[in-house]
Amino acid sequence: MTNSIREIPLSAGFFVIGSNTTENHPVMGSMIKNAVINNGKKLIVVDPREIELSRYADYYFQIKPGTNIAILNGFMHILIKEGLYDKAFVETRTEGFQELAKTLEKYTPEYVAEICGLNNPEDIPKAARLMAELKPMALYYSMGITQFVSGVNNVKSTANLQMLLGNMGVPGGGVNPLRGQNNVQGACDMGALPVSYPAYQPVANEENKAKFEKAWGVNGLSAKPGLTIVEMFNAAIGGQLKAVYGMGENPVMSDPNQHHIIEALEALEFLVVQDIFLTETAQYADVVLPSCAFLEKQGTVSNTERRVQPMHQVLPPHGEARDDWWIIAEIAKRMGAKWDYAKPEDIFEELRTVTPSYAGITYGRIEKELIQWPCPTTDHPGTQYLHKDRFSRGLGLFTAIDYTPPAEGTDAEYPMILTTGRILEHFHTGTMTRNSRILDELVPEGFVQINPNDASNYNIADNEVISISSRRGSIRIKAKITNKPKPNVLFMPFHFYEAAANVLTIDALDPACKIPEYKVCSCRIEKIAQ
């Protein structure tokens, strides 16, 4: 997030795209809802499903899955055509405007409505004009923007819009991705990415390589970026990858094309899984290492707004469970490393010496202060919002982006679109929530949401078990008839192993960041013969 959660009251309005905020990020969702309902703030929502926030929106656009770029370009087309953009900001803080404007010329409301499957093209100019009035407007997105083969371009398009409106570098504005788990941001900050050291310092940079070799007292660090998860499993099937160490990750449930993932796990010579439960993935492991749950350990987490927070141990570890860092350190010692960390703070102190954005953050400070990185020195207050006077690259770069369709389109054999996501009662792969008796009783089984028109066409009744098939597999699951999805669109949560959505999803990847296209694939539905 460029901005902060506590700035929600400072926003004149909100643009939420690709985020079912009230279910997936309920604290922030309730804050936005309160600002709209009780304080008269404006709201624009773009989502393939009728989510709760769409009820309160001044304008709601129920787009076809995978068409985010088209509608974002449509809004920007109007802003430029009618001269509603922030000319002073564009002239003094950005570059690439002319190339952007040229690309946007064809994105008329009618053209956009045709791509996105909208019946209300006249609302596109109205919403764009409202955006121009909102000073500032905050943009929020989640995995309904990122989980596409065009995910990187989707994100760049949100930045284009906010720069065009002059909503960057101001409190209450910004581009604000909502992270899917409590420490996803922190994991990325710490270098849990195949292309970077901590704080996004590229591994391919020779200066960074020398810096970390010196800091860690080693030689020969690779300057070659590693593989992403899907690429790892492709390599396992191809015989290039022999072993995997999985920690707090359940790819049998969380990764696309489940059959392909299981084939890869079985092809490995050695699989280690470190987790708090015997997950679906752990059942394929050669060794399972029991780790502590969050209440059993201490350390820090860095949340979606770049805030570093302390985590305190509340309960003693259960059974033979141990801290993740301790398990890793003990394995490293047995492999010859001289790691002498006694506690998580020791690791954090080392981190500060090689991570400029964390250099000024200490355990003592985060117990008393709200600190967000970048925080370069111990007398620095932290950074509430980014890009105040300049962008990190100097001028903000507009990127001229054309709409590109999803990797897999519909056809006669697979005429429907499947999109996946989460629900309020369950979390991610269900490792924790499905082990909660109360939460599992609330929603004990999977379901697929289907529009009444489609249910009628296929003669499907509410709660009837149906078959859903894609080019990758088939499952049986209960149908929930609802107006939330558009006709010809199905929505399915991916928490349930008994009817796993990722049996069906496609493992096509964004060419830049290699994220899979979870949010759209083609499928068909069928009644089951009685």
Rounded CA separation 215/217 (Å): 6
Q: Is residue 335 part of a domain?
A: yes
Q: Is 209 found in the same domain as 173?
A: no
CB atoms under 10 Å from CB of 231, counted, come to 14
Last residue of a domain, one of 178, 198, 229: 178
Residue of 279, 301, 300, 295 whose CA lies nearest to 184: 301
Residue 43 belongs to some domain of the structure: yes
User: Quick one: 352 and 442 in the same domain?
Assistant: no
Same domain, 214 and 341: yes
* Residue 278, domain CATH: 3.40.50.740
In a domain, 406, yes or no: no
Residue 423 lies in a domain: yes
Question: According to the model, what pLDDT value does residue 180 have?
Answer: 80
List, as one string, the DSSP characters of 352-365: HHH-GGGTT--HHH
Bond preceding residue 198 cis, omega within 30 of 0: no
* Domain shared by 138 and 193, yes or no: no
CB 292 within 8 A of CB 467: no
Range of 277's domain?
184-366
Q: Are residues 189 and 255 in the same domain?
A: yes
Give which of 444, 449, 445, 460 is closest to 421, Cα–Cα: 449
Same domain, 358 and 321: yes
Please indicate, yes or no, whether residues 132 and 192 belong to a single structural domain of this protein: no
In a domain, 131, yes or no: yes
- Position 158 scores a pLDDT of 98
* Claim to verify: residue 191 and residue 174 sit in the same structural domain: no
Locate 142 and state its tokens.
């989640």
Q: How far is CA 90 from CA 95, 98, 162, 179, in A?
A: 7, 11, 11, 29
**Cβ(223)–Cβ(215) below 8 Å:** no
Full pLDDT tens readout for the chain, 530 residues: 999 999 999 999 999 999 999 999 999 999 999 999 999 999 999 999 999 999 999 999 999 999 999 999 999 999 999 999 999 999 999 999 999 999 999 999 999 999 999 999 999 999 999 999 999 999 999 999 999 999 999 999 999 999 999 999 999 999 999 988 888 899 999 999 999 999 999 999 999 999 999 999 999 999 999 999 989 999 999 999 999 999 999 999 999 999 999 999 999 999 999 999 999 999 999 999 999 999 999 999 999 999 999 999 999 999 999 999 999 999 999 999 989 999 999 999 999 999 999 999 999 999 999 999 999 999 999 999 999 999 989 999 999 999 999 999 999 999 999 999 999 999 888 899 899 999 999 999 999 999 999 999 999 999 999 999 999 999 999 999 999 999 999 999 999 989 999 999 999 998 988 899 999 999 999 998 76
DSSP state of 431: T
How far is the CA of 185 from the CAs of 200, 292, 302, 348, 483, in angstroms? Answer: 11, 20, 6, 16, 34
Of 178, 207, 223, the residue that ends a domain is 178
Joined tokens for residue 207: 């200066």
Structure tokens at 407: 């990797």
Residue 371 domain-assigned (yes or no): no
Q: What is the total count of domains within the chain?
A: 3
- Specify the pLDDT at position 428: 87
The CATH number given to whatever domain includes residue 515 is 2.40.40.20
248 and 338 housed in the same domain: yes
Q: Are 399 and 100 in contact (CB under 8 A)?
A: yes
Instruction: Output the pLDDT for position 330.
Output: 96
For residue 30, give the CATH number of its domain.
3.40.228.10
Q: What is the pTM of this model?
A: 0.94
Predicted pLDDT of residue 521: 95
Q: Cα dist. 68→100, 121, 421 in Å?
A: 16, 15, 16
CA–CA distance, 284 with 252 (Å, rounded to integer): 10
For position 530, what pLDDT does the model report?
Answer: 62
Same domain as 174, residue 188: no
Q: Are residues 213 and 320 in the same domain?
A: yes
Residues 240, 266: one domain?
yes
Quick check: is 503 in a domain? yes
Closest CA to 313 of 343, 351, 275, 278: 343
Last residue of a domain, one of 366, 391, 424: 366
Strand, helix or coil for residue 490: strand
What does the alpha-carbon distance between residue 48 and residue 116 come to, in Å, rounded to a whole number?
9
Q: Is 133 helix (H, G, I), strand (E, B) or coil?
A: helix
d(CA 48, CA 143): 13
For residue 395, is it within any domain?
no
Instruction: Return the sign of the alpha-carbon dihedral for residues 259, 261, 265, 267.
Output: positive
